[in-house]
Amino acid sequence: MDIFSIILLVVVAFVIAAFILMRVFRKPALEDIGLHYGEKVLHDEDDCVIEAYGAGGAETLRDIFVRVTDRRIILGQRTSGRTAKHALRYIVYYGDMSGVRFSRRQEKQDYVIMKADPQKLAVTDDGLFLIEALSGQGPEVPGRLHLKSPHIDSYRDLFRM
């Protein structure tokens, strides 16, 4: 084998290793989340703000994209850089959850999966959409989320409040 073949093999090996590592360490994006069978998108909105209240205090996230379906609310945050994707932050199941399997590997994920009672979703007079988590879901799940949206009436219409 000549030196050119060896260099070529090393370069190809590095390129393959880079693609594998990028795939393994890639952060989940909202755009990568598919719909469940029969699920319908009801509302999409950009430029919202979330305040998450949990045991560790309050956390505020800006530049949030909200996708509301008939079963869940998916929340992603705009990422910096060249990509137009939104880093996945929360998936809130509020609709029919039969057939949905929840994993116990939540602590390894960069996002939170939580369940909410649809009867406890509310819109306040201050213009906040409130999402209250069902109790007993673990320490990483916030007790409630406050969503600030310039189009709060859309949430009133969607959830008939």
* CATH classification code of 30-159: 2.30.29
pTM confidence score: 0.76
- Alpha-carbon distance of 16 to 28, in angstroms, equals 21
Tokens representing residue 147 in the block: 């969503």
Tokens representing residue 104 in the block: 């116990």
Residues above pLDDT 70, as percent of the chain = 85
Contacts 24+ apart (CB under 8 A), 60-69: 61/89, 64/89, 64/147, 65/30, 66/147, 66/149, 67/30, 67/41, 67/43, 68/41, 68/42, 68/43, 68/44, 68/155, 68/158, 69/35, 69/39, 69/40, 69/41, 69/42, 69/95
* Mean pLDDT score across all residues of the chain: 82
Tokens representing residue 35 in the block: 């719909």
pLDDT score recorded for residue 107: 46
- Residue 136 pLDDT > 80, yes or no? no
Of 50-59, 67-76, 92-101, the least confident: 92-101
- Alpha-carbon distance of 47 to 6, in angstroms, equals 51
The number of residues in the chain equals: 161
| Residue range 16-58, pLDDT digits in tens | 877 777 666 666 777 778 888 888 999 999 889 999 998 778 8
Name the residue ranges covered by the structural domains of the chain.
Answer: 30-159
- Residue 73 pLDDT > 80, yes or no? yes
pLDDT score recorded for residue 87: 86
Tokens representing residue 156 in the block: 């009133």
- Residue 3 pLDDT > 90, yes or no? no
